[in-house]
Amino acid sequence: MTEEGCVFLKDIKEMGFSTKAVHAGQNPCPVTGALSTPIYQTSTFVFENVKQGADRFAGKEDGYIYTRLGNPTQKALEDKMAILEGGEAALALSSGMAAVSAVIIALTKNGDHIVADKALYGCTFSFMSEIMTKYGVEVTFIDTSEISQIEKAIRDNTKIIYFESPANPTMKLVDMKQVADLARSRGIITVIDNTFMSPYFQRPIEYGIDVVLHSATKYISGHGDVIAGIVISKKDIIEIIRTIAKDLGGVISPFNAWLLLRGLKTLAVRMDRHNENALTIAEFLASHDKVKNVFYPGLPSHPQYGLAKKQMNGFGGMISFELKGGYEAGKKLMDRVKLCHLAVSLGDVDTLIQHPASMTHAIVPVDERLKAGITDGLVRLSVGIEDVDDIVEDLEEALR
Ligand SMILES: Cc1ncc(COP(=O)(O)O)c(C=O)c1O
């Protein structure tokens, strides 16, 4: 990093979101002048002598050792994401699930207890209910949007309160400040999966949340070509997670870190378009006579519309809905769309449609799934950035 670069970037935290998304964490290469951050496609880093190698291992000297322990392309991504989320530090990993699992494993031990929302991404639910319980960590699944349920579930050994807001795929919101205040008063760490909103629309650290994580596969990448995850928090918490994550081994590749750096530069413009398109489509669906329910936090009919306006800067691109004809009608719709792709994942520039009960949440036992509000008829739409009239026309045609 050049001195000039440092001077310019000194005040980056005070700049607007889009400026941070473009510039934070990245400077032109001081040797070649390359504007784009190089992809340091290397597994190892050469030491000048034995003392230097030993000092780096002992933490007496900064510098790179081996890409599983850190890499300059990964570092640029972590610095950018920490600034975008308003955190002190970040850790990039090979998938959203690598982030979820590293956070939970690092912050709990045998005999501890987790309070988690019952509406969670399927693999997060099964990681907690199947894997963590096997290693002696108990999990109580409740509705974290009701503070009284959290109060009731907390025990002396509760270490983490974990939730998504909006939740995948029900679009239920959780009052972040209320949960953070309660958790802090009891010495419990709060963890939020902020995948659906991205830091452009929601910055949980500003509300007192301790740890923010993302499936960076989604809006952070934006282009449907990467699997990755990222965690943002205070420096000391990130160091605890980093120490565990290096042994778990879910390291992000330098190339994928670079793809995320590139994706992040356009996060704000992409998110604005996702939001604008989703609002139009949610309104279209809500007024359609074949549609029973639409779950989108930007509709005044959403039960937490007020909370959405309070803690989010936009409503995002994710919509869930049920058709009056239930599962059969939903299945027909998903089989008939042409522009919208029938595919899991979300947050891509392409519009994606899928059936949570048989796809992303198939791993959740039926009774738990229904308790979380994930009915057989629920269809999830990740609205892309195409021309909205074309998406509406595709849905209209398929509904007909
Ligand atoms: C909300 C949420 N969190 C976490 C994950 C896991 O992310 P990944 O697929 O990148 O491991 C997903 C994946 O769909 C998700 O939707």
Residue 9 has pLDDT above 90, yes or no: no
Is the pLDDT score of 254 beyond 60? yes
- The confidence score (pLDDT) of residue 10 equals 56
Per-residue confidence at 119, pLDDT binned at 50, 70, 90? very high
Mutate to test the pocket of ligand 1, among 93, 94, 95, 97 (most ligand atoms within 8 A of CB): 97
70 CB under 6 A from ligand 1?
no
- Residue 195 CB less than 6 A away from ligand 1: yes
Q: Which residue has the higher pLDDT, 30 or 296?
A: 296
Provide the pLDDT for residue 38: 96
Torsion of CA 74, 76, 77, 79, to 10 degrees: 120
Model pLDDT, residue 218: 98
pLDDT tens-digit map of 332-341: 999 999 999 9
Sorting pLDDT into bands at 50, 70 and 90, what band is 132? very high
Ligand 1 close to Cβ of residue 215 (< 6 A):
yes
Confidence at 135, pLDDT banded by 50, 70, 90: very high
Confidence at 11, pLDDT banded by 50, 70, 90: confident
Angle (deg, nearest 10), helices 326-336 and 388-399: 130
Mean pLDDT for 123-148 is 97
Q: What is the largest CA-CA distance in the chain?
A: 74
Task: Assess whether the C-beta atom of 121 lies below 6 angstroms from ligand 1.
Answer: yes
User: Which residue lies with its CA nearest to atom 7 of ligand 1?
Assistant: 96
Q: Is residue 349 in contact with ligand 1, taking CB distance under 6 Å? A: no
Decide if pLDDT at 249 tops 70: yes
Over range 244-269, report the average pLDDT: 98
> Residue 3: is its pLDDT beyond 90?
no
Is pLDDT of 2 > 60?
no
Q: Is 101 in the pocket of ligand 1 (CB under 6 A)?
A: no
Q: What's the Cα-to-Cα distance from 294 to each of 42, 193, 324, rounded to whole Å?
A: 48, 22, 11
For range 385-393, the mean pLDDT: 98
Q: DSSP string covering 132-179, please?
A: IHHTT-EEEEE-TTSHHHHHHH--TTEEEEEEESSPTTT-----HHHH
For residue 351, how far is its CA from the centre of ligand 1 (angstroms)? Answer: 17
Answer whether 190 contacts ligand 1 (Cβ < 6 A): no
Closest CA to 119 of 374, 340, 393: 374
**pLDDT recorded at residue 341:** 98
Q: What is the dihedral of CA 155, 159, 165, 169, to 10 degrees?
A: -80
193 lines ligand 1 (CB under 6 A): yes
Q: How far is the CA of 72 from the centre of ligand 1 (A)?
A: 25
Rounded to the nearest angstrom, the distance between the alpha carbon of 51 and the centre of ligand 1 is: 42
Give yes or no for a contact between 290 and 105, defined as CB atoms under 8 angstroms apart: no
8 A C-beta contact, residue 188 and residue 160: yes
117 CB under 6 A from ligand 1?
no
Q: Hey, which residues does 93 pair with through a beta bridge?
A: 229, 251
d(CA 397, CA 400) in angstroms, rounded, equals 5
**pLDDT for residue 244 is more than 50:** yes
pLDDT at residue number 8: 54
**CA–centroid distance, residue 229 to ligand 1 (Å):** 8
Kindly give, in sequence order, each residue whose CB lies less than 8 Å from that of residue 160, ignoring residues fewer than 6 positions away.
104, 107, 108, 112, 114, 115, 116, 188, 189, 190, 191
Q: Rounded CA gap, 219 and 348, in Å?
A: 6
Q: Which of 101, 128, 168, 214 to mutate to test the pocket of ligand 1 (most atoms within 8 A of CB)?
A: 168
Catalytic residues: 68, 121, 193, 218
pLDDT attached to residue 7: 46
Calculate the average pLDDT of the chain.
Answer: 96
For atom 15 of ligand 1, which residue has the closest CA?
Answer: 121
Q: Mind listing the pLDDT tens digit for each residue in 350-362?
A: 999 999 999 999 9
Instruction: Report strand pairing: 211-215 vs 318-323.
Output: unpaired
pLDDT tens digits, 136-185 = 999 999 999 999 999 999 999 999 999 999 999 999 999 999 999 999 99
What is the architecture, at CATH level 2, of domain 267-399? Alpha-Beta Complex (3.90)
In whole angstroms, what is the distance from residue 239 CA to residue 226 CA? 25
- Nearest ligand 1 atom to alpha carbon 100: 4
- The residue whose CA has the least distance to atom 9 of ligand 1 is 96
Q: What is the CATH number of domain 3-265?
A: 3.40.640.10
Structure tokens at 118: 């019952």
CB 41 within 8 A of CB 222: no
Say if residue 193's pLDDT is above 60: yes
Q: What's the confidence (pLDDT) of residue 40?
A: 97
Report which ligand 1 atom has the smallest distance to the Cα of 216: 10
Q: Region 30-57: what's the mean pLDDT? A: 97
List the domain boundaries for the chain.
3-265, 267-399
d(CA 240, CA 244): 7
pLDDT average, residue stretch 60-79: 98
- 239-248 contacts, C-beta under 8 A, 24 or more apart: 239/89, 240/106, 240/107, 241/91, 241/102, 241/103, 241/106, 241/107, 242/91, 243/106, 244/102, 244/105, 244/106, 245/91, 245/93, 245/98, 245/102, 245/106, 246/68, 246/69, 248/98, 248/101, 248/102, 248/105
Enter the pTM of the model.
0.96
Instruction: Answer whether 3-265 and 267-399 agree in fold.
Output: no
